[in-house]
Amino acid sequence: MTAASPPRSLVWLRNDLRLRDNPALDAARREGPVVAVYCWCPAQWRSHGTGPRRMAFILRCLRALSADLAERGIPLRILMAKHFSEVPAGLQALARELGINALHFNAEYPVDEQQRDHSVQVLLEAHGVSVAVHHGAVLTPPGSIRTNAGKMPVVYSAFRRRWLARTQAGEGQPLALIPTQTWPVLNGKAMTSDPLPDPDDVDEALLADLWPGGENEALRRLRRFMEGPLVDYREQRDLPASPGTSRLSPYLAVGCLSPRQALAAAMRANHGRRSGGRPGPDAWINELLWREFYQHLTAALPQLSQGRAFKPETERLPWRDDPDALAAWQQGRTGYPLVDAGMRQLNAQGWMHNRLRMVCAMFLSKHLLLDWRQGEAWFMQQLIDGDFAANNGGWQWSASTGCDAVPYFRIFNPITQAQRFDADGAFVREWVPELKALPAPDIFEPWKAPVLAPDYPEPIVDHKAARARALAAFKSLAGR
Ligand SMILES: Cc1cc2nc3c(=O)[nH]c(=O)nc-3n(C[C@H](O)[C@H](O)[C@H](O)COP(=O)(O)OP(=O)(O)OC[C@H]3O[C@@H](n4cnc5c(N)ncnc54)[C@H](O)[C@@H]3O)c2cc1C
């Protein structure tokens, strides 16, 4: 520790709410005493579809971070800004107040965030503050994985192959926890942290039992997953009734955990390998790479953040307008037990199992022929792990409008999906109590069961007819 001195650099924390493996924070503290800032932008986030659950989760993570920073002698300043447009001037004023000469942050890749960051950079540099952009939310910086033609690979398997070839096994080790600094002094006084935002419309305790905030919680969950379910991940990951996945997505989305930390932990369990090791860790690393793929795509293709389909021809699909069907889907009352179980899990927990996200997304976009953007928005509103790149990627995959998406004719049958992945009906029984008394396989087609479930709705569409309608809609694109 050095004697108390004024701050020299500012780290702007965003989707990187952690002290470990945080490239921006690490670079900032190397320049001398560092101050952290967080911009609370509720109106902007709401316009991006972020719901109260995720805002509550961010607040919890911010509270934990503020305490962790204080232990390291780093004050946390809060900049209240309704919209991103207010951020550049706010940061510039703070930089002037602190007298710092460098700003560091980790990049965010959707368009509005990139434009905000560009404006910040231009303004601060014009005032003599250097700005350094780092990459803490990805394994490798977007733009670094390229085809021979120098383009971003738009097929996942090619992306993965090139990622494996480009990066070395020992490369990208997570950075260590930053050392403690002496609390910086400003105008002769020790600095303090700002109080955290206390918005009227966000209940910080929302879903706190299920999703406590903070880096330490993320690390605890990572350890528990590594010591338990990881080994059987490949067999268990598709079974929604099994606690077979890590449930780390909310922590990765707000950056309480970095993807490099996740990768390094998986490699330790995988004989140090990124692929070709043990089935469980291999399969989990593959999912981390899907996350990476969608982050890189978001950075490469601004049209994705502007609500456009990756495949432009699919903009001509004859999406239906059916508010009743949309509401039935949102509430988990479609009459298809696995779809309803998934949607109810989402509404209750702010999280849904990946297999069911695909089943429910395909049901909306194919069986109901409703615009995938309506589903994407509902998910974003409800999810505690809402992440633009993964959500958009997952929706466009399921709706067959996206990059390396499922072929339009491979439409998941919600009945056989249930028979396959919830064979004894345990998951449906947990989330759809109206069907509790039905044994498998009756529970998957309750309308055919000898004992009817009077409180449970009839299917809102017939699978075969809905499938035929979706196929016709996609085929019509070729004819025009
Ligand atoms: C329609 C749809 C919407 C989705 N929306 C989101 C979202 O908003 N936020 C989000 O984090 N994930 C989203 N996913 C991806 C995936 O469903 C979740 O990441 C996963 O279910 C989270 O559970 P877990 O942490 O237990 O995952 P694990 O199976 O333990 O996987 C580890 C991590 O890898 C990443 N990951 C896993 N699968 C995927 C995938 N298919 N695409 C991208 N990343 C993946 C996640 O960060 C996850 O935490 C979506 C998928 C679909 C099909």
pLDDT 10s per residue in the chain (480 long)? 456 799 999 999 999 999 999 999 999 999 999 999 999 999 999 999 999 999 999 999 999 999 999 999 999 999 999 999 999 999 999 999 999 999 999 999 999 999 999 999 999 999 999 999 999 999 999 999 999 999 999 999 999 999 998 877 566 789 999 999 999 999 999 999 999 999 999 999 999 999 999 999 999 999 999 999 999 999 999 999 999 999 999 999 999 999 999 999 999 999 999 999 999 999 999 999 999 999 999 999 999 999 999 999 999 999 999 999 999 999 999 999 999 999 999 999 999 999 999 999 999 999 999 999 999 999 999 999 999 999 999 999 999 999 999 999 999 999 999 999 999 999 999 999 999 999 999 999 999 998 889 999 999 999 999 999 999 999 999 865
**The pLDDT value given to residue 50:** 96
Q: Do the beta carbons of residue 356 and residue 338 sit within 8 Å? A: yes
- 287 is a catalytic site residue: yes
The response to whether residue 54 sits with its C-beta less than 6 Å from ligand 1 reads no
Please report the atom of ligand 1 found closest to the CA of residue 386: 8
Q: 287 in ligand 1 pocket by Cβ < 6 Å? A: yes
**Sequence-distant (≥ 6) Cβ neighbours of residue 97 within 8 angstroms:** none
Query: Does the Cβ of 304 fall within 6 Å of ligand 1?
Result: no
Query: Which residue, 174, 188, 169, 202, is CA-closest to 50?
Result: 202
261/257 Cα distance (integer angstroms): 7
Kindly give the distance from the C-alpha atom of residue 357 to the centroid of ligand 1, in angstroms, as a whole number: 9
CA of 233 to the centre of ligand 1 (A): 14
Q: Is 319 a catalytic residue?
A: yes
- Ligand 1 within 6 A of 395 CB? yes
Token pair recorded at residue 317 = 């699909």
| Position in ligand 1 atom list of the atom nearest CA 248 | 25
226 lines ligand 1 (CB under 6 A): no
CA of 366 to the centre of ligand 1 (A): 21
Ligand 1 mean position, distance from CA 390 (Å): 7
- CA-CA distance, 479 to 300, in Å (whole number)? 30
Residue 204 is a catalytic residue: no
> Residue 250: which of 280, 283, 228, 217 has the closest Cα?
217
For 273-284, b where at least 16 C-beta lie within 10 A, e where not — what string?
Answer: ebbebbebbbbb
Q: Which listed residue (12, 45, 163, 290) is catalytic?
A: 290
H-run or E-run covering 10? strand 9-13
| Amino acid (1-letter code) at residue 246 | S
Instruction: Give the per-residue pLDDT at 452.
Output: 84
312 burial type by CB count under 10 A (0-12 exposed, 13-18 middle, 19+ buried)? exposed
The CA distance from 5 to 184, in Å, is 5
Q: Give the pLDDT of residue 3.
A: 65
pLDDT on residue 170: 63
- For residue 417 and ligand 1, the question of a CB distance below 6 A is answered with no
Catalytic residue among 40, 45, 319, 397: 319
Q: Indicate if the alpha-carbon torsion angle 212, 214, 217, 222 is positive or negative.
A: positive
Residue 395 annotated among the catalytic residues of the structure: yes
Atom of ligand 1 nearest to the CA of 225: 30
Which pLDDT score, from 0 to 100, does residue 265 have?
97
Alpha helix stretches (DSSP H) within 140-276: 156-166, 215-227, 233-236, 249-254, 259-268
- Give the pLDDT confidence score for residue 391 in this predicted structure: 98
Domain ranges of the chain: 1-137, 138-174+216-300, 312-479
Chain CA centroid to CA 185, Å:
37
Domain 138-174+216-300 has CATH 1.25.40.80: yes
Amino acid 133 reads: V
Quote the CA–CA distance of 303 and 294 in Å, as a whole number.
13
361 close to 398: Cβ distance less than 8 angstroms: yes
Which residue has the CA at smallest separation from atom 38 of ligand 1? 287
The partner residues of 35 in beta bridges, in order of sequence, read 10
Q: What pLDDT score was predicted for residue 432?
A: 98
* DSSP label of 460: S
On the CB side of 330, CA atoms within 13 Å amount to 18
Q: Which of 354, 413, 434, 445 is catalytic?
A: 354
Closest ligand 1 atom number to CA of residue 352: 21
Residue 423 identity (one-letter amino acid): A
Strands (E), 135-201: 185-186, 189-190
What is the predicted pLDDT for the residue at 480? Answer: 59
Please, what's the b/e burial string for 344-366 (b: 16 or more CB within 10 A of its CB; e: otherwise)?
bbbeebbbbbebbbbbbbbbbbb
- Sign of the Cα pseudo-torsion (443, 446, 449, 451, in order): positive
Q: Of 372, 378, 397, 431, which one is the catalytic site residue?
A: 372
- Which residues fall within 8 angstroms of residue 222, CB to CB, at 6 or more apart? 246, 248, 257, 261, 262, 265
Q: Which fold has domain 312-479?
A: DNA Cyclobutane Dipyrimidine Photolyase, subunit A; domain 3 (1.10.579)
Task: Specify burial of residue 1 (Cβ count, 10 A radius: 0-12, 13-18, 19+).
Answer: exposed
Task: Classify strands 34-40 and 76-80 as parallel, antiparallel or unpaired.
Answer: parallel
391 CA: nearest ligand 1 atom: 5
For residues 150 and 303, give the distance between their C-alpha atoms in angstroms, rounded to a whole number.
20
How many A from CA of 254 to the centre of ligand 1? 13
CA-CA-CA-CA dihedral for 211, 216, 222, 224, to nearest 10? -80
Topology classification of domain 1-137: Rossmann fold (3.40.50)
The 10 Å Cβ neighbour count of residue 389 is: 24
How much is the pTM? 0.98
